[in-house]
Structure 1
Amino acid sequence: MKALLVIDVQNGIVNLGDFKTELALMESVIKDFKTGSLPVIFVRHFDDSEESPLYKGSVGSELHGSLKNYADYVIEKQTPSSFFKTNLADTLEHLGVTHLFIIGFETEFCCMFTAISAFDRGYKVTLIKNATGTGNTDESYGMPGLDIRRFVGTVLQWSSVIEVLDYEKYAENYFAENMM
């Protein structure tokens, strides 16, 4: 069975930039899963520091209003991996999931770490790279010209074990098959 992980679509991240395009693509993917009666699992990141925009209990830590009502399940985490010290693995096992699709925020951290962790646990993994976003830029890393999504997508593709697609290829490869 397939399931969708929607990672860190929270006010504290979404409010960092203009993510209209990414949110629209995320919503399209979510609607595909809903149409196919497939589980949509949201993951929320919390920090203990009151200075963090994702401080637990703050408005920033809440799921973004544009997508939050689509969640079938909500998993809470405190590290980049959605699996580390969470009940995600138990939830996926209970649902009989074998193939995870990943969208959401912090492409280079939470999405990538979760994709690798999922593969390590035996899941088939598909990352829809243009349905991810990040609050970081090339300036954040002191690497002028760095395209974070492209870099992460390339690294994961080179692994030859994690499928990386843009939305159009995802729609062609999966949506055309009615997701099943």
Structure 2
Amino acid sequence: MPTPRRALIVIDVQNEYVTGDLLIEYPDVQTSLSNIGRAIDTARAARIPVVVVQNFAPAGSPVFARGSEGAQLHAVVASRQHDHYVEKDLPSAFTNTDLAGWLAAHEIGTLTVVGYMTHNCDASTIVHALHMGLAVEFLHDATGSVPYENSAGFASAEEIHRVYSVVLQSRFAAVASTQQWVEAVESGGQLERGSIYASNRKARAKSAA
């Protein structure tokens, strides 16, 4: 298989998730931050373009308010160089931005997604990318989730992250660790992709055993 033409997209690695009011709980945020830094360093060494995405809400919003400390990029990203910058205010990094045009102009066929959060902006961007015809990779230890409770029930950060990772691997992205991705980049290879049918067959076989 030919080496994919990748871009690394670093989504919303902002202080709000680390020291602010929307703290990433799973995986451990320091682990994911370290892996995000490693992914950026690997991409730059391999001449893979790096796209940094930053989310803003209006002034006065409880999180990501423009001009607030929480909305600023975390030092892991701010201290490293990037090739393109995208500002957004909706979950998908493609909506009302120039990302699609920039990727097309640079002949990118595979998008590698890291950053926050697994179940919100990451998942939205991944699904959007698939519908645009892009292949997607998702580094599950360079991302993270928070817990939720609302009228539909309660879900821990670990449950949300795990379930979304499984679902993404079934159709939308090749889900892998940062180490697996680094090895694929260095070898010029591709990551394993799943399917809905294979994922369901494996689960049914396990239940029947």
- 1:9 corresponds to 2:21: no
- Which consecutive residues of structure 2, in runs of 5 or more, have no partner in the other structure? 191-209
CA contact (8 A) 1:9 1:64 kept: yes
Shift of 1:145: 8.0
Quickly say closer, same or farther: Cα 1:119–1:62, change in 2 above 3 A: same
Shift of 1:176: 3.2
The 3-state SS of whatever aligns with 1:62 is: coil
Q: 2:169 aligns with which of 150, 154, 157?
A: 157
* Equivalent residue, structure 1, for 2:34: 24
CA contact (8 A) 2:149 2:155 kept: yes
Alignment partners' CA distance in 2, 1:130 and 1:35? 20
Quickly say closer, same or farther: Cα 1:23–1:145, change in 2 above 3 A: closer
Q: 1:148 aligns with which of 160, 175, 183?
A: 160
Alignment partners' CA distance in 2, 1:175 and 1:118? 24
How many residues are paired up?
Answer: 177
Cα deviations across residues 139-179 of structure 1 (Å, max 9, x unaligned)?
576135852221111111122x4211122322333333389
Deviates more, 1:66-75 or 1:114-123: 66-75
CA contact (8 A) 1:138 1:146 kept: no
* Equivalent residue, structure 1, for 2:194: none
- TM-align CA RMSD: 2.1
* Equivalent residue, structure 1, for 2:103: 92
- Which structure is larger by alpha-carbon Rg, 1 or 2? 2
Deviates more, 1:14-23 or 1:77-86: 14-23
Alignment partners' CA distance in 1, 2:103 and 2:157? 38
Cα deviations across residues 18-54 of structure 1 (Å, max 9, x unaligned)?
6111011111111110001111001011112513221
The 3-state SS of whatever aligns with 1:59 is: coil
CA contact (8 A) 1:102 1:125 kept: yes
Alignment partners' CA distance in 2, 1:98 and 1:81? 18
* Equivalent residue, structure 2, for 1:42: 52
Shift of 1:68: 1.4
Structure 1 moving runs of 4+ over 4 Å: 138-141
- 1:76 corresponds to 2:119: no
Residue identity matched to 1:6: V
Cα deviations across residues 99-126 of structure 1 (Å, max 9, x unaligned)?
1000001110000110110111111100
The 3-state SS of whatever aligns with 1:67 is: helix
